[in-house]
Amino acid sequence: MQRYSGFGLVKHALSHHENWQRQWRNPTPKKAYDVIIIGGGGHGLGTAYYLAKEFGIRNVAVIEKGWLGGGNTARNTTIVRSNYLWDEAAALYEHSMKRWEGLSQDLNYNVMFSQRGVLNLGHTLQDMRDIQRRVNANRLNGIDGEVLDAKGVQELVPIMDCSKNARYPVMGASWQPRAGVARHDAVAWGYARGADALGVDILQQTEVTGFKIRDGQVYGVHTTRGDIEAKTVGCVAAGNSGVLAKMAGLKLPLESHPLQALVSEPLKPVLDTVVMSNHVHGYISQSDKGDLVIGAGIDGYNGYGQRGSYPTVEHTLQAVVEMFPIFSRVRMNRQWGGIVDTCPDACPLISKTKVKGLYFNCGWGTGGFKATPGSAHVFAASLAKGEMHPLAAPFSIDRFNTGALIDEHGAAGVAH
Ligand code: FAD
Ligand code: PYC
């Protein structure tokens, strides 16, 4: 991070931002690169960073149609956990968790990763059986997890209604102590600054409008700033992945839906962990600024509008007030939406395509923020070697031909 003397700090604090040092360059696109990454969210920027840092491929462009992190990366509610059921998913998310644990040091950028723990509540006997099964599976995979009863939950979160009076009384929860939250835009900025310093060109306000494909091999992209060539292209465009795939003549098993979130007015610290309930259907944490960060499930219809509907907001707040009657008079400050690309088995697609050199990393749906460092790392390794990284291989598009689906709806945390 940029360092100032005491005097420098005061000078810059009092100056306008035009005097601040840029954290990354604003380069003119070159005619050609070794690798093009489409999408300047955390996954795309992280991929470029690891390509340059760990695989020595520095002639890389990240092409972003808007601003860095302006997609889901800076619209999400930042829950990070690795408590997925199946071995393939657990291994990938735990790979990510380990990278989260060293990310601020690696990037020399404070991504504010806060391991305050995540509770997934159970409200029925079947919920508790599913929780038990998932925690057992996690522990067999070396992932931390505990099953708590209602008393244990109440001790962790004294302000939650764990009484028998609730519509769906809390019976217990899974508890992952190493899980938590992070600062979303810092993740994008940290990766961007790191990648730029290693020579990666970050091209903002540049939209990819088509692919250059000849004899089944990609050799570049059309953009709003002209054509750019590369024989390896990685698409990391979240909710817009289906649109990009169509430009290349591909159809991916994805649906794009709005997913909303809300933040309240800031409060004094009252909630020092993350609480999620699939059954009552809402989740909540408190940010370091003091606002309550709240969300629930997707809006059921398809759309690309980055906004959602009022009934979902109402449903979300009903769930939160049911769990936390103490918050019933808290005022909401802001609400927004992102476009999530959901896959039928609630797992991502990290895959080659039938177009040689064209790869997709998408389908993270409602849960890809937590995967950012791990996904970026395995995708960079796959692009660098031309072979899918072993942790990425099970997430190939081929699983929809072979039937080897990895159903993680139970762990997805948010219904879709
Ligand atoms: P993005 O950050 O969306 O980046 C993709 C980029 O591609 C965008 O910036 C877009 O502008 C760009 N792009 C698209 N088309 C083009 C084009 N043609 N040319 C150039 N650029 C293009 N996940 C969790 O793990 N925990 C959570 O708590 C959580 N909460 C969420 C809450 C909400 C409200 C939302 C919307 C999502 C949430 N998610 C959560 C999901 C998570 O945000 C995403 O899975 C993740 O951020 C995806 O990152 P990304 O880098 O792949 O995509
Ligand atoms: O994947 O944990 C998650 C999540 C929480 C809210 C949205 N996604």
Take atom 18 of ligand 1 and give the residue whose Cα is closest: 208
Is 113-180+255-342 a CATH 3.30.9.10 domain? Answer: yes
d(CA 280, CA 415): 11
How much distance in Å is there from the Cα of 42 to the middle of ligand 1?
A: 8
Identify residue 362 by its one-letter amino acid code. Answer: C
| Ligand 2, pocket-test mutation among 75, 369, 416, most atoms within 8 A of CB | 369
- Assign 4 a pLDDT band (cuts: 50, 70, 90): low
Predicted confidence at residue 1, as pLDDT, reads 46
- Assign 10 a pLDDT band (cuts: 50, 70, 90): confident
pLDDT in tens, 383-412: 999 999 999 999 999 999 999 999 999 998
Residue 175 has pLDDT above 90, yes or no: yes
How much distance in Å is there from the Cα of 74 to the middle of ligand 1?
A: 8
Ligand nearest to the CA of 248: 1
Binding site membership of 367 for ligand 2 (Cβ less than 6 Å): yes
pLDDT in tens, 340-399: 999 999 999 999 999 999 999 999 999 999 999 999 999 999 999 999 999 999 999 999
Query: Percent of the chain having pLDDT more than 70?
Result: 97
Residues 6+ apart with CB under 8 A from 97: 80, 81, 82, 143, 178, 179, 370, 374
pLDDT in tens, 49-60: 999 999 999 999
End-to-end CA distance of the chain, in Å? 39
Binding site membership of 413 for ligand 2 (Cβ less than 6 Å): yes
Sign of CA dihedral 67, 69, 72, 75: negative
Binding site membership of 316 for ligand 1 (Cβ less than 6 Å): no
Domain formed by 28-76+185-253+345-412, architecture: 3-Layer(bba) Sandwich (3.50)
Binding site membership of 366 for ligand 2 (Cβ less than 6 Å): yes
Predicted confidence at residue 265, as pLDDT, reads 98
d(CA 122, CA 171): 6
Task: Round the CA-based radius of gyration of the chain to a whole number and report it.
Answer: 21
How much distance in Å is there from the Cα of 224 to the middle of ligand 1?
A: 21
Calculate the average pLDDT of the chain: 96
d(CA 298, CA 320): 16
d(CA 376, CA 339): 20
Predicted confidence at residue 262, as pLDDT, reads 97
d(CA 119, CA 109): 28
Residues 6+ apart with CB under 8 A from 393: none
How much distance in Å is there from the Cα of 52 to the middle of ligand 1?
A: 22
Predicted confidence at residue 350, as pLDDT, reads 98
Binding site membership of 378 for ligand 1 (Cβ less than 6 Å): no
Take atom 32 of ligand 1 and give the residue whose Cα is closest: 76
Ligand nearest to the CA of 206: 1
CA distance to 150, 330, 351, 376, 401, per residue, from 405 (Å): 34, 42, 14, 22, 9
Q: What is the mean pLDDT of residues 82-100?
A: 98
How much distance in Å is there from the Cα of 369 to the middle of ligand 2?
A: 8
pLDDT in tens, 205-262: 999 999 999 999 999 999 999 999 999 999 999 999 999 999 999 999 999 999 999 9
Query: What are the sequence ranges of the domains in the chain?
Result: 28-76+185-253+345-412, 113-180+255-342
Binding site membership of 65 for ligand 1 (Cβ less than 6 Å): yes
pLDDT in tens, 109-156: 999 999 999 999 999 999 999 999 999 999 999 999 999 999 999 999
d(CA 25, CA 197): 9
